Amino acid sequence: MRFVVTGVAGFIGSQVAEKLLALGHEVRGIDCFTDYYPRRLKELNLTACQGQPGFSLLDRDIMAADLEALLDGATAVIHLAAQAGVRASWGANFEIYTHNNVLTTQRLLEAIKAQGNRARMVYASSSSVYGDTRDLPMRETSACWPVSPYGVTKLAAEHLCGLYTRNFGVDSVSLRYFTVYGPRQRPDMAFHRFIRAMLTGGEFRLFGDGEQSRDFTYVGDIADATIAAAINGATPGGVYNLGGGSRVSVNQVIALLEEITGGKATIQRLAVAKGDVRDTEADCSRARAELGFNPRYDLKKGLAAETEWVRSMLPVLREV
């Protein structure tokens, strides 16, 4: 089968592409290599894909790409391209978020519709759509009140997928990822910053008191579930939570990382950032039932894998 993977050079996209290629599928990747973090790191993410006969890469913004050619013969479009980051989504940056998160999604949906709805659209959404709720665990039927512009754009794109399914028959699926971590994690993300600081004796910033909690989810489990949503019996127009299975505080994560790295956390404590939520926890019963979602990595195992990756990347990280 042929798959289009947007944001293919990213943290999650590159690992989805690798798994698809390993399964014998063809992958057409597209990435515009935004400058949110160094291009060199994204190129390294694709090392295992480049040169494989089933892989091709288009270095282009989705808004400028020939989508008719890109989607030709595709079984599914796995739409991972997005402008990430809750804290950076305020102010003038919002235009970047609407371009990369909303407009690109609408253009892909239009392109699928124009080709007769032959491809499934798998949209990577976020737990950020729920906002700061005490109604835990979060269910797909829970109210969504995002507390950041980033979350607003992710929910808007979800709504677009649902609208195109109901009105035009586009086979769309939205996956709400809960705090993904693991090898290739972006350098601005918390676990990456924590691990790098502990390995090098540096300091890292912590927003809030550390008692905020998240349902942390390992990237390999996310990639498997995303592929399952593209291939298996997901409900058209369906929305699915994908969480790691346990809610853990940031302070607990730091203690685990000190144990794994053998380093000591030196923390600069800051006020809670605008747009951050206090807690997340996913009810994944729907994904379990319909996608066969069953996370294989517990937090300690996943953190150890990310730690080894960061350790191996330190020479490159010092240069970029």
Buried b (16+ CB within 10 A) or exposed e, 168-194: eebbbbbbbbbbbbbbbbbeebbbbbb
DSSP state of 102: I
CATH of the domain at 129: 3.40.50.720
Inside any domain, residue 190? no
Residues 144-166, mean pLDDT to the nearest whole number: 97
pTM for the full predicted model = 0.96
Inside any domain, residue 38? yes
- Write out pLDDT tens, residues 37-56: 999 999 999 999 998 999 99
- Cross-strand pairs, 29: 5, 57
- How much of the chain, in percent, has pLDDT values that exceed 70? 100
Inside any domain, residue 268? no
Inside any domain, residue 210? no
Nearest 5°: the CA angle 2, 222, 159 is 80
CA atoms of 154 and 83, how far apart (whole Å): 10
Whether 9 has a pLDDT exceeding 90, the answer reads: yes
Strands 213-215 and 247-249: antiparallel
Residues 202-227, mean pLDDT to the nearest whole number: 96
CA atoms of 100 and 84, how far apart (whole Å): 9
Instruction: Label residue 246 by pLDDT band (50, 70, 90).
Output: confident
Whether 90 has a pLDDT exceeding 80, the answer reads: yes
Instruction: Label residue 86 by pLDDT band (50, 70, 90).
Output: confident
Q: Which residues contact 291 (CB under 8 A, 6 or more apart)?
A: 225, 228, 229, 232, 233, 234, 240
Inside any domain, residue 93? yes
CA atoms of 89 and 97, how far apart (whole Å): 7
Print the domain residue range for 95. 2-179+218-243+278-296
Question: What is the count of structural domains for the chain?
Answer: 1
Instruction: Label residue 274 by pLDDT band (50, 70, 90).
Output: confident
Whether 314 has a pLDDT exceeding 80, the answer reads: yes
Residues 10-14, mean pLDDT to the nearest whole number: 98
Is 164 noted as a catalytic residue in this protein? no
CA atoms of 102 and 79, how far apart (whole Å): 12
Residue at token pair 């990456």: 192
Active-site position among 97, 123, 130, 150: 150
Inside any domain, residue 42? yes
Q: Which residues contact 97 (CB under 8 A, 6 or more apart)?
A: 83, 89, 149, 150, 153
* Bigger pLDDT: 131 vs 234: 131
pLDDT value of residue 297: 95
- Provide the mean pLDDT of the chain: 96
pLDDT value of residue 12: 98
Instruction: Label residue 275 by pLDDT band (50, 70, 90).
Output: confident
CA atoms of 217 and 11, how far apart (whole Å): 13
Where in 252-298 does DSSP place strands (E)? Answer: 266-270
pLDDT value of residue 271: 92
